[in-house]
Amino acid sequence: MATDASNSNIPPASPADSFISRVVVEASLVSPEELKACAAKQEKLRKAGHQVRLVDILLKAGFVTKTQVKRLAHRPDDTVTHSLQHLPGFQIMQKIGSGAMASVYKAKQLSLDRIVAIKILPKRLSEDSSFVDRFYKEGRAAAKLSHNNIVQAIDVGEHLGYHYFVMEYVDGKTVYDGFPEHGAYSEDKALDIAIQMARALEHAHARGLIHRDVKPKNIMITKDGTAKLADMGLAREAGDAEAAAAEKGRAYGTPYYISPEQVRGVEDVDFRADIYSLGATLYHMVTGRVPFEGDTPAEIMHKHLRTPLTPPDHINTSLSTGFGEVVERALAKNRDRRYQSTSDLLLDLEMVRRGEAPPQAHSGLNNQLLANLATEGAEVSDDSTYMPHPAQILPKLPMPGYVVPLIIALVVEFLIIVALLGVLLAGG
């Protein structure tokens, strides 16, 4: 979506908004003036703290229908023409996936005689510099990583106006694809995948990269059970202040798995956002449902901010206590109460797999207790025998409605008894 270059306070449009802006105008469903009015309304809502997709505003205004949007998102693919069947150094074999932003093909790398996957940006998006920049940024981010649990980047380039990204070919399926078959994953299977993903994220975070879109569709499982983190399309360097400032106020991520700070569009999103998204993914895997549901993306994201989480072991009662504690801590709405390193999360997951209590999850509970004591004004002296008052330790429980009247009645009864005793003593 085009923005007024004279107003530097307006952040750039998300890829999805840019895409829908382009196609609705190309299809003559919306005039440039109507699109500009919808974009202005979206910006006004954003400044008021409401994250709303441009397509939702177009739908509500009646400019497009859901059927039209669906057709636009699945227009005939313009990615590979006859000339691209012989991409220099590669032989394209078959299409294996597609989305609104790109299509993926299985191909043979001729020089090394090996099978690879090639993501190709459609011609209509190759003319948009913002899409091209993000496409190459994904390639550069992936190239910084070399880990068995991350899909390996091989090359990026351009041919006949088409931009392509060559990566490792994964012969398998996604975690999301396994839901119809498994319903909910077993705790053992979920732990195995979670540990591999924690290792992948530990590797990425150590190199200053935040994935920002961990979800079941971005976790590939090979035939031998190896889990691989895919799609670095939203990845960002933790220290990239320019990108952080440009994206301020916009929610980047997938609503079902997005962290609260991503919903708010804060500048300083860090590795803890990935920990939250992995926690949401694990929650989905072992319960068969996402942490929060809603009729619209905005409603779902609002629940990530405000709605208390139903513990996973309340839904799937066969889960171990330790596993539930790990998931709940990963899904803490306040990132300061989540795991403070990916290594800590990995340690707890490995302890749970060995049948032991997760020490870091328990440490988080103890730290929260100390925080509660501090906010209650408790002063701990150097005296090791100090014991806080029980009221400072026990959680504040809601008081039933009958308690106050009962206390009043008991006090009145006590005063009557004292008065009667006084009369009797005076008469004696």
Residue 373 neighbours by CB under 8 Å, 6+ apart: 380, 388, 392, 393
Q: Which residues of 171-182 are buried (b: 16+ CB within 10 A; e: fewer)?
A: eeebbeebbeee
Please answer whether residues 195 and 148 qualify as being in contact, where contact means their C-beta atoms are separated by less than 8 angstroms. no
313 is a catalytic site residue: no
Nearest CA among 226, 221, 223, 201 for reference residue 213: 201
Amino acid at 328: E
* Backbone φ and ψ of 267, nearest 5°: -75, -40
Helix (H) or strand (E) holding 235: none
Residue 139 neighbours by CB under 8 Å, 6+ apart: 153, 155, 156, 165
Please answer whether residues 117 and 168 qualify as being in contact, where contact means their C-beta atoms are separated by less than 8 angstroms. yes
332: DSSP letter: -
Please answer whether residues 229 and 214 qualify as being in contact, where contact means their C-beta atoms are separated by less than 8 angstroms. yes
17, 213, 274, 344: the catalytic one is 213
Catalytic residues: 213
